[in-house]
Chain A
Amino acid sequence: MSTGTPSRIVIVGAGPAGIRAAQTLVAAGLRPTVLDENARWGGQIYRQPAAGAGFSRTKAALYGFEAKKADAVHRAMAELLPKIDYRPDTLAWSCEPGRLDTLREGREASVPWSHLIIASGATDRIVPLPGWTLPGVYTHGGAQVALKAQGCAIGQRTVFAGTGPLLYLVAYQYAKAGAQVAAVLDTSPFARQASCAPKLLNQPGTFAKGVYYVAWLKAHGVRMEHGVSLAAIEGDEAVRHIRWHSADGKEHAIACDAVGLGYGLRPETQLADLAGCRFAFDALNRCWLPERDASGRSSVPGVYLAGDGAGIAGADAAELAGRRAALAVLEDLGIAAPRDAHAPDANAIEKQLARIARFRAGIEEAFAPPANCAANWPDDLTLCRCEEVDAGTLRSCIRNGFASDVNRLKALTRIGMGRCQGRMCGESAAALLSAETGKPLHEVGRLRSQAPIKPIPISPMLFDDGVQVIEEEAHDE
């Protein structure tokens, strides 16, 4: 980066990672642009209800044990506002070298960048089962957002199913808020969770909270089952009950009108992909992640990755990684890091992140999604919700020898071609391909991201009076 060129630092995502990155850069005297798709900063875990609408719950009510951290993150961002170019309600839908394309309230704008910090966060990891597309089935994250941001439970009587620490947290939050939790069905065996305790004790505070949620649920009579396998969610036009098998193989059913379903989180990596970052298969997370070093630098000079958007590690890690990525930007710009007795330096951050990584390894092991589900998916199970492509269609294509790679499978069966661009089905497609071909997950390919990373209306394209005319020689018929 030549010293004569003004730097334009852009941060995508105003969750804990993006906020701490912005804070670090501002402390060093810079003025980053912060883009966020939501109306208010905080990301998902520290999501705030809409302003000015009369929401009145306290932070303690909204965030429980995390209230102090949430508040600190919120205040940090509030203090930054006069010193940054903050653009909420802004979707970054494409990325090219040096430029992001964005959409805000029906108008599009190009945002140039010299340094890009991608803090794009995560969504729930999904394992489909019959009935998962029925009204009433939501992800754990979705169930949390309904409660936190809208004051709603996803149903009158909810079963929480799947696995992961979020399973217990959201069930606890619901029960505490007075919503009826019919059961918590954990596909992970309890014994496995117990055996992971040593790794989990790398974050004793977090571990203790997890133990607390479980104990609280038990004390309040919420039914909890471990080592279950989920059979189907059923109902005519919406959820009526969920069928499942206990560890001893017996079949059960629980009446409910909502199911919270999830198996941990998966990073949102589409912008990193469009930015040209190199990806590698991460065995622990069972998915492809953009490569980053301990500082958060990606394989592309000028592109940095922080938070759950590059690998699931939780909100505390996101705050640290956001700051570390900003320090990397400063190093690369030849600007001295801000002196701050309260904020950890690069070495301290990396040590702490390594500790958290050991904890995360324990989480992934304790709450691993059930293995070999794909082999048992019925042919009529919808894998791609957007395009309604079922498992049988994929199997037929694979067994006829037409596809041994997930992009090929997409081209031939349409899986991943719908509005969600494979967020909800990409891993299912890979899992089925792996099960059918016998190839390990990392050898069946990675679904390539394509712009726009979320659907955009055509109409914003029509406003720009400076639009170029198609060059003469490009007038194909």
Chain B
Amino acid sequence: MSTVTPQPLAQLVRVAETARARVSFVLDGVEVQALAGDTILTAILTQQRHVRRSEFSGEPRAGFCLIGACQDCWVCSEDGTRLRACSTPLREGMRVLTRFHTDSEMNGGGAR
């Protein structure tokens, strides 16, 4: 059986509407490019093949329903705000994390 070789680095493939303006944002600390009108999910998955990891098994997830029903695409911004990736528009300069804050960051709450 032939496989898809080499394995794609990104999940979603742009097949239309590629003439839109560029938008840059920060993904897990790295600046990357997306297009105006992308959801956060599209912006992430045109770079890589997962948006989060299961908190129990650590296995990668990349969303499923894309209409805000399955709740499998929650990410957060660096300030802790939860974002449902498939239903949140990407904005220029967003700083997105595909994993939660660490324990030490949870402890910083006293100063808020």
Q: Do chains A and B make direct contact within the complex (CB under 8 angstroms)? A: yes
Asked if residues A49 and B15 are in contact (CB atoms below 8 Å), the reply is: no
Q: Which of A249-274 contact B (CB under 8 A)?
A: 253-258, 268
Of the listed stretches A145-153, A183-191, A204-212, A281-289, chain B binds A145-153
Nearest residue in B to A235 (C-beta to C-beta)? B7
Q: How many residues of A contact B (CB 8 A)?
A: 63
Of the listed stretches B24-32, B49-57, B100-108, chain A binds B49-57
Q: State in angstroms the CA–CA spacing of A385 and B54 once bound together.
A: 9
**9 closest Cβ contacts across the A-B interface?**
A53-B37, A151-B17, A135-B62, A142-B66, A419-B71, A151-B16, A54-B20, A152-B12, A123-B69
Give the residues in chain B near A55, CB-CB below 8 Å: 17, 20, 37
A273 CB to closest chain B CB, in angstroms?
15
Asked if residues A150 and B13 are in contact (CB atoms below 8 Å), the reply is: no
Given known contacts A152-B46, A179-B15, A137 and B64 CB-to-CB distance under 8 angstroms: yes
Q: Does A387 contact B (CB under 8 A)?
A: yes
Q: Which of A49-67 contact B (CB under 8 A)?
A: 49-50, 53-57, 61
Give the residues in chain A near B69, CB-CB below 8 Å: 123, 268, 420, 423-424
Asked if residues A156 and B37 are in contact (CB atoms below 8 Å), the reply is: no
A379 CB to closest chain B CB, in angstroms?
16
Asked if residues A54 and B21 are in contact (CB atoms below 8 Å), the reply is: yes
**Contact sample, A vs B, 27 pairs, CB 8 Å cutoff:** A49-B17, A53-B35, A54-B19, A135-B49, A138-B63, A139-B64, A143-B66, A150-B17, A150-B38, A153-B15, A154-B11, A178-B15, A179-B13, A179-B15, A238-B7, A257-B4, A257-B11, A385-B61, A388-B56, A418-B71, A419-B72, A419-B74, A420-B72, A424-B64, A455-B74, A457-B81, A457-B82
Q: How many residues of B contact A (CB 8 A)?
A: 48
Given known contacts A135-B50, A457-B82, A257 and B7 CB-to-CB distance under 8 angstroms: yes
Give the residues in chain B near A146, CB-CB below 8 Å: 12, 42, 66
Q: State in angstroms the CA–CA spacing of A451 and B68 once bound together.
A: 16
Tell me which of B11, B12, B62, B82 contacts A150 (CB under 8 A). B12
Q: Is the interface of B mostly helix, strand, loop or mixed?
A: loop
Given known contacts A49-B37, A146-B12, A39 and B17 CB-to-CB distance under 8 angstroms: no
By CB atoms of chain A within 10 A, which of B18, B49, B63, B72 has the most? B49
Q: State in angstroms the CA–CA spacing of A93 and B70 once bound together.
A: 15
Asked if residues A44 and B67 are in contact (CB atoms below 8 Å), the reply is: yes
Q: Which of A434-470 contact B (CB under 8 A)?
A: 454-455, 457, 459
Q: State in angstroms the CA–CA spacing of A147 and B17 once bound together.
A: 10
Tell me which of B20, B54, B74 contacts A53 (CB under 8 A). B20
Given known contacts A142-B63, A268-B69, A455-B71, A258 and B11 CB-to-CB distance under 8 angstroms: yes
Q: State in angstroms the CA–CA spacing of A149 and B86 once bound together.
A: 11
B86 CB to closest chain A CB, in angstroms?
8
Q: State in angstroms the CA–CA spacing of A153 and B37 once bound together.
A: 16
B27 CB to closest chain A CB, in angstroms?
15
Give the residues in chain B near A397, CB-CB below 8 Å: none
A172 CB to closest chain B CB, in angstroms?
14
Asked if residues B11 and A238 are in contact (CB atoms below 8 Å), the reply is: yes
Q: State in angstroms the CA–CA spacing of A237 and B60 once bound together.
A: 6
Q: Does A290 contact B (CB under 8 A)?
A: no
Asked if residues B11 and A240 are in contact (CB atoms below 8 Å), the reply is: no
Asked if residues A133 and B61 are in contact (CB atoms below 8 Å), the reply is: yes
Q: Does A27 contact B (CB under 8 A)?
A: no
Nearest residue in B to A256 (C-beta to C-beta)? B4
Asked if residues B17 and A56 are in contact (CB atoms below 8 Å), the reply is: yes
Give the residues in chain A near B7, CB-CB below 8 Å: 238, 240, 257
Nearest residue in A to B38 (C-beta to C-beta)? A150
Q: State in angstroms the CA–CA spacing of A154 and B12 once bound together.
A: 5
Asked if residues A237 and B15 are in contact (CB atoms below 8 Å), the reply is: no
Q: State in angstroms the CA–CA spacing of A385 and B57 once bound together.
A: 11
Q: State in angstroms the CA–CA spacing of A50 and B82 once bound together.
A: 21
Asked if residues B15 and A177 are in contact (CB atoms below 8 Å), the reply is: yes
Q: Does A37 contact B (CB under 8 A)?
A: yes
CB-defined interface of A11-55 with B at 8 Å, one 1/0 digit per residue? 000000000000000000000000001110000100001100111
Asked if residues A50 and B15 are in contact (CB atoms below 8 Å), the reply is: no
Q: Does A323 contact B (CB under 8 A)?
A: no
Q: State in angstroms the CA–CA spacing of A238 and B64 once bound together.
A: 13
